[in-house]
């Protein structure tokens, strides 16, 4: 059974304090790993898709990396507007459904 575990559950950072969010996964054949940002009361907003180990993607202050067992979302010099819940999801080769982790709630003050 596919599993996605995100840590930490919650993270509080000072503005400018860089950190990383972790997403550990097990899946029977990875098609892709996805990162989304979700603000309260809103739908998830697409950030990145990673397909193979060693791949990296960047967007503004965010950088996502992928290994065979986990993915990291690095946040460099975060700002208060980066506060949100960050969701990781895996997609198996057998289909297109996403299996989500429980998310990391990030607060930047």
Binding residues vs another protein (CB under 8 A): 31-32, 34, 36, 41-46, 49, 51, 87, 91, 95-103
- Of 44 and 78, nearer to another protein (C-beta) is 44
Type and span of the H or E element at 73: strand 70-75
Are 23 and 72 within 8 A, CB to CB? yes
- Decide whether 2 or 70 has the Cβ nearer to another protein: 2
Whichever of 78 and 101 has its CB closer to another protein, that residue is 101
Shortest Cβ 24–another protein spacing (Å): 15
Least spacing, CB of residue 20 vs another protein, in Å = 20
| Least separation in angstroms between CB 86 and another protein | 11
Residue (of 36, 17, 10, 9) closest to 76 by Cα position: 17
The two structure tokens encoding residue 2:
């596919």
How far apart (Å, rounded) are the C-alpha atoms in residues 30 and 2?
10
């Amino acid at each position: 059974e596919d599993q996605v575990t995100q840590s930490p559950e919650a993270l509080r950072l000072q503005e400018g304090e860089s950190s990383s969010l972790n997403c550990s996964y097990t899946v029977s054949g990875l098609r892709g790993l996805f990162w989304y940002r979700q603000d309260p009361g809103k739908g998830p907003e697409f950030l990145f898709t990673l397909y193979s180990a060693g791949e990296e993607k960047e967007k503004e202050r965010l950088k996502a990396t992928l290994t065979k067992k986990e993915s990291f979302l690095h946040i460099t010099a975060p700002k208060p507007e980066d506060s949100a819940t960050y969701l990781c999801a895996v997609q198996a080769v057998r289909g297109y459904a996403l299996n989500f982790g429980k998310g990391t709630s990030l607060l930047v003050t």
